[in-house]
Amino acid sequence: MDEFRFDCAFCDVTVDAATAAVVKEEAKAHLEAYHVTELREVFAVAFGGNECDNDCGYVFPDGIDGGVEYECPTCGHDNFPPFLEQYVYWRIEKET
């Protein structure tokens, strides 16, 4: 029996594997391939009011009204990889 699992919140895909590392990589690949647009709303909530991960001082706006991009408008840093890492990490479940 597989021990770790990730259920995609945007479609019916489930990733199962014996290790969390495998689930994490496969889940990230799935989300990058199919759900980058849907994740923007989640990103806006998660990063709204927070600074860019590149420590340039830019603070992401709260909400998605102005259209949220993963790339920092001040320094150009792509904040999607660290966001995706956190998003997947908190959604991996250990099956018992």
Q: Give residue 32's pLDDT.
A: 95
Domain carrying residue 81: 4-94
Mean pLDDT, 10 residues at a time, the chain of 96 residues = 90 96 97 93 86 93 73 94 94 90
58-64, long-range: CB within 8 Å, 24+ apart, which pairs? 64/40
Count of structural domains, the chain: 1
With tokens 């099956």, the residue in question is 95
* R_g over Cα of the chain: 15
Model-level pTM? 0.83
Q: Give residue 66's pLDDT.
A: 59
Q: Give residue 20's pLDDT.
A: 95
